[in-house]
Each structure stands twice: as C-alpha cells, then as structure tokens.
Amino acid sequence: MLFRKLLACAFAAVVTTSTAQSTDGILDLVRRRLPDHVDDFIFRLLENQTTPITSATNSTNDAYTISSTDAGKIQVEGNSLIALASGLHRYLTDTMHVDIWWGIGSRLDVGPVILPPLDQPIKGSSIVPWRYHFNTVTFSYTAAFWTWEDWELELDWLALRGVNLPLAWVGQEKILVDAFRELGMTDAEINAYLSGPAFQAWNRFGNIQGSWGGDLPMEWIDNQFELQKNITARMVELGMTPVLPCFTGFVPRAITRVLPNATVVNGSQWSGFPTEFTNVTFLEPVDPAFTDLQKSFISKQAEAYGNITHIYTLDQYNENDPYSGDLEYLTNVSYNTWKSLKAADSQAIWLMQGWLFFSNSAFWNISRIEAYLGGVADNSDMLILDLFSESAPQWQRTNSYFGKPWIWCQLHGYGGNMGLYGQVMNVTINPIEALSNSTSLVGFGLTMEGQEGNEIMYDLLLDQAWSGSPIDTSAYFHNWVTRRYSGTGDIPQELYSAWDTMHSTVYNNTNLTTTAVTKSILELSPNITGMLNLTGHHATTINYDPNMLVSVWKTLFSAASANPALWNNPAYQYDIVDVTRQVMSNSFDDMYTSLLSAYTSSARSNATIQAAGTNLTSLLTSLDTVLSTNPAFSLSTWISSARSQTSNTTIANFYEYNARNQITLWGPSGQINDYASKSWGGLVSSYYIPRWEIFTSYLMTTEVASYNKTILDALLLQWGETWGNKTSGPTMSVEGPAVANLTTVLGGLSGDWPGIFGS
C-alpha cells in the first residue's frame, strides 16, 4: 500500500503545474447543466493541488464531503477539483436522481426544483488515485467527427464520474506536420503519410499510413488543432490531467530524403493492408534525430496548449511487431525513447497501452516484456494500461508489469459494435482483488473501442473506484434505473424488473468463450458457414436465453402503459430501441438458419429460398424503421456529422467516404470488412438489406455443390465499394425511411411479427 502511495505521489507531484486553484470550472459545469441552481451550490477546495510535496504526497486519493448549509445551500468540499465534481455527481445521482448520459444528453436539469437538503453529510473517497478514460481508437470509432458541443457533453460526463486522466490526442497532426516541415519535408511527402479523418488512430501508432479515397486536407488538420485547444483547456478547468501525444518514431518514408543517414526500419504489415498503406517507417530511437523530433513535438505542443501535463501516450508496437525480438534491441528502443521524453520534459511519464502483450502474446513472451519495460529504468516514469483486465488481464503474468504503475481497464467492446453485454462480476470483484494483490496498481479505467450502449457497465467500474469492496450490483442496477428514467413522473416497477432480469443474464456473462460485446450476424457479409456461434473477439454467440430477452422487452414495453409519459423520456426511447434491436437481431439468427435449411434441403426450390430470404429482409426493414426513430441509432447522424465538418462539397464527399468506409469495408478493399459495423437506421436498409438480397439471389442461382465463396465475396465487395462511394449531397438526405413515431412503430411489432413480439 505504501508503495502504491509513493508511486501515486510521484505522479501527483509531477502532474501539478498551475498555481492557485480555482473552482470556476466546476461552477461553470453547473452553469451549463443546471442553470437554475447556480446559486444553490457552494464548492470549497480544501487543499491546493499546487503544493505537490506537502499535500499531494500525503493525499493520494480524492475525497469529498457534501452537506447542507444553514442558508439552505448544498456545499461540496473536496481535496481536488475532480473530488468536487465527483461529490456533485454523488448528490445529483443519489439525492436528486438525475444524470448525464451518452447518446441521450444531459438530464441533470429534470430533478426537483428545490434542492433536497441533507440530514447528514455524505462522504466519499476514491480507492485509487487515477481514473482513466479512452482507448486510443475511441477517437476514431466514436469521436472522429465530434463537434465542440459533443466534446463538452463528454467532458462533463467524465468529470462528474470522477475521471481525472483522459487521453487527449485530437489534432496532433498539426504538431507533426509542423515538425516534419521544419525537417524539410514537402507537404506532398507528409500527405503520403497521413491517414483520413476516420482512420487517424491507427496512423498515430504506426499500423497504417496514407489515405485512400483522397488526401487529408489541411483544413481538417487546422480545425482539429483548434478543437484540441478547447478540449485541453476544459479538461484542466475540470481538474483533469490530460494525457497528450508525443513523438512515437513513426515517420513519412521521406525521412530518408531529408535525413539520408537516418536509422530507420519498417514496421510490420497490418491486417492485410498493401505496403503502400502499412509497413510504416520507424525512426530508431537510438538515432539523434529521434530526440530532436521529440523535443520539437513536445515544445510545440506545450506552446499550443500550455504546460498542462507530463503524461504522454506512446505506443510503438500496438499490433505492430518490433524489427527484432532480440532482448538487447528491445531494451535499447525503450531506453532511448524514454531518454528522448526526458530530454523534452524532465518530468515526463510514458503511458502505454498493454494491448500488445495480449494480442501478440506469442511474440511478447515474459523475457521480451521485461526487456522492453526494463529500458525505462525508473518505474515511476511509466504507466501501463492493462487494457482488457475484465477478460484477459496481463498483470499477473507480467508480475504487475515488473513494478511499473498500471491501471485496471475494462475494454468491453470492439469497433463500437452494438450488443447488450456485460460482466458485472468481473468488473466489480476483479479490480478489488487486483488492488490487494498488486502494489503498483494506481487506477481503474475505461478503454472501450467505441462508446456504443451498455452505459451501465462503464458507470459501474467508475463507481467501483470509490468503493473498497465489490459493489452490490443488484442494488446498483436498481439505483441506476431510478436516475436513468427520471424526469417523467413515476418510474414503474416494470423498469426495475426488466433491468433486474438483464442484470443477472445479459449483463452477467461468465462464459469465457465470449469476452466482449456480441455482434449481430445481420451486419456481417453473408455466407453459408461460420457466421453463427462465433466466439472470441467479435462473438456472435448469444450467452443467454433469447426468450428471456423477449420477455424483458415486453416488460419494458408495458412500463409505458403504466406511465405513458415514458414515451417522451429520452432514456426510455433509447433503451427500448436498443432492446428491440437486440431481440430482432437474435431472431435474425433463426431466420438465417431457416434460409440455410431451405437452401440445403433436398426439396430446395427457388420459391422456398426466396420466401426465406424475404422473411429475413422484411425483418430487417422493420428493424430499420425502429432504429430510424432515434438519431443515436441512425446512419444520418454519423454521416451528417462528417459532412458538416466543412463547407467545401468536395471535402465533404471525402469525409463522407471515410465515414462510410470505416463502418463497412474498413480499408480500400475490405481489409477488415465489417469490423466496425453498426445496427443503424439507414445503414440496415441501404447496405445490409441489399447484401442479403445479393446473397439470396446467389443461392437461388447456385447449386449447393457449385457454391463458391470467392465469387460471392466478389459480388458483395463490389456492392460494398458502390455503396461506399455514394454521397448524400449537400442536402444530407441519407438513405432510409423518414423518422417514424416510436409509439406507433413499436405498437405495430406484435402484429407484424407475432412469432417474436406476440403474446
């Protein structure tokens, strides 16, 4: 425990930079979200985080006390700004029963008009000094086209939930471009390296380079840079320590033109991309140019955003194998990288995703991990994200990363896939066990690839960071429902009951064959084998009884009979669409199986295949109508956010191409096809339905013995490319039916699909 404190101290001591602390940032949050209650709250900071040696050394965790004052105000006292935000959240959620949500927005203003007084003070303190948020790729899967308004919502969500260590690497291309230009590279040479707006995360850690479908425009780079100024300033105001990017070593091929003697190697090939787009050039850290670029990057960055952090994200081998597995080589790479960071910022801490140790455990045996981490001689100069702790923790086999501080993270889902899923036991019991087993564990964090649904699972882990024993998840779900559906009168028992059932089923997966959010096969490129019962990364297995979920749906639906005002409740609108989506996806599996039976039956006829195919596409049409009732489940939201980043139509078309390509082919010709697929209104109708129609007609015209997956895949790929090149035009009319009325649409389901939704 003492060791943990010392490590935490080392961080706390170095990350504090500004002078006197103001609580204005927290008051501004109240002003944004609870404008009617600005004068009802008092925030008092009990310690200055600016005196690191005395106070931060002695207080590693955040703590708050909430109480009522004689004047009838709610006072939140805390030892840090994030403690104040966390205390405010505790009052809002537990006493006022309101919250702020992804995909729904802020519902903080629907609570009681008069703030309920507290009989007794409420106290809370974190059990770990750091709460981390973001996977490197969340920035592409979820936030690629976010506006400042989207970011404001996210940052308020994070602050209230006590996150004090968020990744902040929007807009880093601006810094890189400036550094490369200074080296003498031309813009054409730099552009050959940079990837499109929907693919920047993978460019930044050297999986891919270059852009398909057009070059990254300078206006994108400039706008994102401006956006990052807002983001970092707000993070600091809210009491967070941003994790900023730095120079990783990945460079344009032209490095050897401007530095003919540079020591470079090529990174490995990623996910079947052609060499043009992968095998990214890596400047060896031993080369003096590496340190020069590091200094250039970090000083330019500090100039732009201020000296706001000493923690830098730096991944060199994320799904990208080192040039050599030689132990000495690995130690040298990390040693020189660390030295470069220290030369640029003497207090630098290197934050790294530990994903590689899981994803390529064949390469990263214990000796190699030890060699690579060992290059950083001072343990407190590094911070590792144990990226997938709930399913595939690496901290045990690495002996707690050989003493390096690390963070227990829930990854939960890939590619922003949509499926109801959670492991309530593993995200409550395991981090607490880890805390008592590992002295260098200093935080809990969320590293989802995309923020798509299942919000309760993320809330749960962030709340676990304030409870020394595993949370009672049954009570937790109950309380969560109370705040989830506030603002429209009584919360019917049905809502509690539906969530209680999901708590012990969809959110209590314990089957080790499915370790993350499940995928719906309706989103996968059709074929006749291998779609159902997939396990692992993108499992398609349903680990609960699908009939149970149908009865959950009925219970949820009947809640609105008990309280019809729920139809106007954004949380209810979101959740019922989400559960309907899952029920229909589950039923799709059966219809697909029927189609295969019709195809392989000895009595096969075109009529039976056609009928089975039509059944399946009709279901998708209904699904599309349901999804299209809600912008959070609509393709048009994604595409219009991409297009509206610019006023230039040619550039808007390029952004739209990026947006479409990421969620479908993911690569110029389907390199990681359907990885980031989505059940979105407009996408189901315009993309998946035609794909299943192509499949059905292929089956009708092809004998079982002549079935040729290569031919079928070519047809489907051609369709993928056609769809990906479409543009919505300036008027933004994205394919799909007009937004329909949710009440009518859901009310019609039991008539349209009696086999699924009927009583």
Ligand X SMILES: *[C@@H]1O[C@H](CO)[C@@H](O)[C@H](O)[C@H]1NC(C)=O
Applying CB under 6 A, which residues contact ligand X? 20, 46-48, 53-54, 57-58, 148, 223, 226-227, 230, 260-261, 266, 268-269, 275, 279, 302-303, 306-307, 391, 393, 396, 423-426, 430, 433-434, 437, 473, 503-504, 508-513, 515, 524-525, 527, 529-535, 541, 709
Number of CB atoms found within 10 A of residue 723's CB: 18
Q: Which two tokens stand for residue 567?
A: 């139809």
Neighbours of 275 (CB within 10 A): 9
**Residue whose entry in the numeric block shows the structure tokens 């008069």:** 114
In the complex, minimum distance from the CB of residue 277 to ligand X, in angstroms, rounded to a whole number: 11
Q: How far is the CB of 116 from ligand X (least distance, A)?
A: 28
Neighbours of 228 (CB within 10 A): 24
Work out how close the CB of 32 gets to ligand X at its nearest, in angstroms, rounded to a whole number: 11
Are 314 and 350 spatial neighbours (Cβ–Cβ below 8 Å)?
Answer: yes
Least gap, CB of 247 to ligand X (angstroms): 17
186 with 127: CB under 8 angstroms?
no
DSSP H helix total and E strand total for the chain:
30, 17
Residue 167 and residue 313: Cα distance in Å, rounded? 8
Minimum distance between the CB of residue 334 and ligand X, rounded to whole angstroms?
A: 21
504 within 8 A of 510, measured Cβ to Cβ: no
Query: Judged by CB, which is closer to ligand X: 95, or 230?
Result: 230
Find the Cα–Cα–Cα–Cα dihedral 67, 71, 72, 76, rounded to 10°.
-30
Task: Give the pair of three-digit tokens for residue 281.
Answer: 């050039």
Query: Residue 307 CB, nearest distance to ligand X (Å)?
Result: 4
Tell me which DSSP letter residue 508 carries: B
Gap between the Cα atoms of 171 and 219, Å rounded: 11
Backbone torsions φ then ψ of 65, nearest 5 degrees: -135, 130
The residues facing 61 across adjacent strands are none
Nearest approach, Cβ of residue 130 and ligand X (Å): 18
* Nearest CA-CA partner of 157 in 200, 76, 102: 102
Q: Which residues contact 747 (CB under 8 A, 6 or more apart)?
A: none
CB of 267 to ligand X, least distance (A): 7
Instruction: Please report how close the Cβ of residue 353 comes to ligand X at its closest, in angstroms.
Output: 19
DSSP for 334-380, written as a single string: HHHHHHHHHHH-TT-EEEEETHHHHHTTTT--HHHHHHHHHTS-SGG
Closest to 313 in 3D by CA, of 249, 268, 247: 247
Rounded least distance, CB 94 to ligand X, Å: 21
- The CA R_g of the chain, rounded to the nearest whole Å, is 26
Smallest distance from ligand X to CB 177, Å = 17
Minimum distance, C-beta of residue 43 to ligand X, in the bound complex (Å)? 12
115/348 with CB nearer ligand X: 348
- Nearest Cα neighbor of 180 from 207, 155, 209 is 209
Can you say whether residue 68 is alpha, beta or left, with left for phi > 0 and alpha for psi between -120 and 50 degrees?
beta
Residue pair 553/523 in contact (Cβ under 8 Å)? The answer is no
Nearest CB to ligand X, comparing residues 166 and 171: 171
Cα dist from 517 to 78, 421, 536, 725, whole Å: 36, 5, 10, 29
Question: How many whole angstroms separate alpha carbon 583 and alpha carbon 682?
Answer: 19
Instruction: Give the nearest distance from C-beta 243 to ligand X in angstroms.
Output: 17
Q: Which of 479, 508, 509 is nearest to 496 (CA)?
A: 479
Whole-number Å distance between alpha carbons of 593 and 524:
15
Q: Which is nearer to ligand X, 356 or 742 (CB)?
A: 356
- Residue among 153 and 749 whose Cβ is closer to ligand X: 153
Q: Measured from the CB atom, is 393 or 724 closer to ligand X?
A: 393
Nearer to ligand X, 80 or 473 (CB): 473
User: Can you give the three-state secondary structure of 624-662, one letter per residue?
Assistant: HHHHCCCHHHEHHHHHHHHHCCCCCHHHHHHHHHHHHHH
Q: How far is the CB of 422 from ligand X (least distance, A)?
A: 10
Q: Which is nearer to ligand X, 122 or 534 (CB)?
A: 534
Nearer to ligand X, 557 or 599 (CB): 599
Nearer to ligand X by C-beta: 319 or 721? Answer: 319
- CB of 427 or CB of 635, closer to ligand X: 427
Long-range Cβ contacts of 501-505 (<8 Å, 24+ apart): 501/548, 501/551, 501/552, 501/555, 502/420, 502/477, 502/549, 502/552, 503/424, 503/473, 503/474, 503/477, 505/544, 505/545, 505/548, 505/549
> 3-state class of 383 per DSSP?
strand
Of 73 and 537, CB closest to ligand X: 537
Query: Measured from the CB atom, is 365 or 644 closer to ligand X?
Result: 644
Nearer to ligand X among residue 92 and residue 506 (C-beta): 506
Indicate the SS3 state at residue 434.
helix
Please, are residues 407 and 385 in contact by the beta-carbon 8 Å criterion?
A: yes
Whether residue 481 contacts residue 499, with contact meaning beta carbons closer than 8 Å, is answered with yes
Closest CB to ligand X among 574 and 687?
A: 687
Tell me the closest approach of the beta carbon of residue 481 to ligand X, in angstroms: 15
Of residues 531 and 577, the one with the C-beta less far from ligand X: 531
| Terminal-to-terminal C-alpha distance of the chain | 56
CB of 131 to ligand X, least distance (A): 20
| Residue with smaller CB distance to ligand X, 142 or 430 | 430
The angle, 0 to 180 degrees and rounded to 10, between the axes of the packed helices 455-464 and 473-484 is 120
Which residue, 40 or 47, has its beta carbon nearer to ligand X? 47
Q: Least distance in Å: CB of 371 to ligand X? A: 21
Closest CA to 283 of 330, 249, 327, 319: 249
The CB-of-464 to ligand X minimum distance in angstroms stands at 14
Alpha-carbon span 715 to 259, nearest angstrom: 46
Question: For residue 301, what are its two tokens?
Answer: 């960055």
* 282 SS3 class: strand
